[in-house]
Amino acid sequence: MHSSISFFDIEKHETAISHVSQARTRAAKIGNSLSKDDKVQKLSLQHWLEAIERVIAMDNLHLL
């Protein structure tokens, strides 16, 4: 049996993983529709990595 605290910690961790997974899926869809220009691809990747970092940071704040 899990205490309520550990239960919520596990739940938050799964939420963070889910958000990252969704962001990767969106990035892949957008990446497929972009031109093959290296600069565009680098900017797109940078945008999504920053978005993922924000999601992880927000989820970590909720764990506190």
Q: Domain residues for 53?
A: 35-64
Low-confidence ranges of the chain (pLDDT < 70): 1-14, 30-36, 63-64
The total domain count for the chain is: 1
What single letter denotes the amino acid at residue 16? A
Q: CA-to-CA distance for 20 and 40, rounded, in angstroms?
A: 21
Cβ atoms of 17 and 60 within 8 Å: the answer is no
**pTM reported for the whole predicted model:** 0.40
In the 8-state DSSP scheme, what is residue 1?
A: -
18 falls within a domain: no
12 falls within a domain: no
- Which pLDDT belongs to residue 33? 64
Question: What DSSP string runs through 6-62?
Answer: HHHHHHHHHHHHHHHHHHHHHHHHHHHHS-S-HHHHHHHHHHHHHHHHHHHHHHHHH
- Which pLDDT belongs to residue 6? 46
